Chain A
Amino acid sequence: MKTFSFESYGVPVSILASNDDLLQMTIDIARKSLLGNLRTVVEPEAAHIIRVGREDGSITLDFDGEDCGKADSDYAFANYFDTRIRLLIAEFAVDRVFIHAGVVSWRGRAILLPGESHAGKSTLVTELIKRGADYMSDEYAVVDAEASVHAYPRPISMRSTSLPTTTWKVPLDGLNTNVPERAVEPGLILFTRYQSDGVWAPKMLTTGKGVLQLVPHTVSIRVHPNFTMSVLSKLASRGIIAESLRGEAENASQMIIDLVDKTIF
């Protein structure tokens, strides 16, 4: 077995692969997936163990003893592992809470758009960038103990509206935007979903209701409930929280910016 050990956001991980090529491919995916937030360590303590092997032309994968099954191609493995490694770090991160959300910074305040996959987060984030917002993430709001929001700037993952199975990555250098280097103060947490006839009618939520709505989008809630609840409470009390249906992202983005300008600045 070939081994590579690293630490990311305080989470120790060891990858055990059946050969060098597979190990290198796995490391490359991990580096890309974690945006380089990965530090090689020699002897990690209590590391999460990932086993990767080849079997009858397929790639087998095991996460901490959980048999994830077989990938029938390198492409399928790369896609799956890319998601799994990020989720592992997000779930066990020591001093950060990862919230599944699109995030931009507007006038130095973070706008969080928590939402499920396929909910249109990336589209909305892209429209906000077109209106001058700085890009932070289309996947995770990374929140520290003081509830400041850190960027997780993966290339934006877009999906075709006519062919939902067709996705492509928008490289960051193709966008006319900056990524904040420092943590950003929370501004607006907006729970919104697209509806073709959706009318924008933001309703403010209390801190408690906001936290409750954040829970289903928070990766670490079961692993670190004390820390996570503390961070979510701070986040919700430092920002404003609203919910609304929305129509097309192009119009909704302006409404969102107007809401932030009106309620925060």
Chain B
Amino acid sequence: MENPVARKNGLVIQETPDEVLVYDLDTNKAHCLNETSAFVWKSCTGGNSVADIVREFESTTGKTVNDDLVWLAIDQLSDNGLLESGMTARFAGQSRREVIKKIGLASMIALPVVASLVAPPNALAVGSCACLNNAACTTAPVGCPMTTCTGGTCTA
């Protein structure tokens, strides 16, 4: 089995003390990796197996973790297109939910989380109710009345 490789191309990466922010230029999605998922992501060099990442994690944090925690991170990173090639998590017949529950109860480490949001499609979608016809109001952003275009603005 191939070792996981973190994607590097087409990403804008910003590091904060406890998290890593990633903006995907291909999908226009922003991701926030918490400390655990960020650690796993950075460890996905292609040279590290899951067992290697577990060992690295334990030596850095001084806490014991199992393969499931790393797989859980890899699963989310892969789902969000942050690995070079998609990887299927190996949860030994358990569902992701069961694994989360099991790790959550047993681990002193924060569960890996990759939170994501899509950037607005264009400037008009950022809080503008401007329109020149009724059709524009049907695709107006959240908060705009979506019925009629009156006087250059969507109105109820």
Contact = CB atoms under 8 A, between A and B. Distances in A.
A164 B30 contact: no
5 nearest CB pairs, A to B: A79-B152, A208-B19, A116-B143, A80-B152, A83-B130
**Main secondary structure on chain B at its contact with chain A?**
loop
A219 B123 contact: yes
Interface in A224-256: 225-226, 229-230, 232-233, 236-237
Contact of A222 (B16, B20, B119, B151): B119
Interface string A76-87: 111111111001
Given A87-B126, A116-B141, A117-B128, A229 B23 contact: yes
Contacts of A115: 127, 143
Interface of B: 12, 14, 16-21, 23, 25, 28, 30-34, 115-117, 119-124, 126-133, 136, 141-145, 150-153, 155-156
Contact of B21 (A100, A116, A219, A233): A233
Interface residues on chain A, size class: 35 or more
Contacts of A119: 143
B30 A69 contact: no
A155 B112 CA distance: 45
A88 interface: yes
Nearest to A91: B123
Contact of A208 (B34, B121, B129, B142): B34
A141 to B, nearest CB: 12
Contacts of A61: 132
Contacts of A236: 16
B119 A75 contact: no
Given A207-B16, A209-B32, 20 more contacts: A68-B132, A69-B133, A77-B152, A81-B152, A83-B130, A84-B124, A90-B123, A91-B123, A116-B142, A165-B155, A208-B115, A212-B21, A212-B31, A212-B115, A215-B119, A219-B126, A222-B119, A225-B25, A229-B12, A233-B14
Most buried by B among A76, A82, A115, A236: A76
Interface of A: 61, 68-71, 73, 75-84, 87-88, 90-91, 100, 115-119, 164-165, 206-209, 211-213, 215-219, 221-222, 225-226, 229-230, 232-233, 236-237
A118 B152 contact: no
A208 B16 contact: yes
Nearest to A72: B132
Given A116-B143, A118-B144, A221-B119, A208 B128 contact: no
Given A76-B132, A100-B127, A209 B115 contact: yes
Contacts of A71: 132, 152
Most buried by A among B123, B129, B151: B123
Contacts of B17: 207
Nearest to A208: B19
Given A217-B127, A229-B23, A208 B32 contact: yes
Contact of B151 (A76, A87, A229): A76
Given A165-B155, A211-B21, A229-B14, A216 B126 contact: yes
Contacts of A78: 152
A87 B14 contact: no
9 contacts: A80-B153, A164-B155, A206-B16, A206-B18, A207-B18, A208-B21, A209-B32, A216-B117, A218-B126
A229 to B, nearest CB: 5
A41 B69 CA distance: 59
Most buried by B among A68, A71, A80: A80
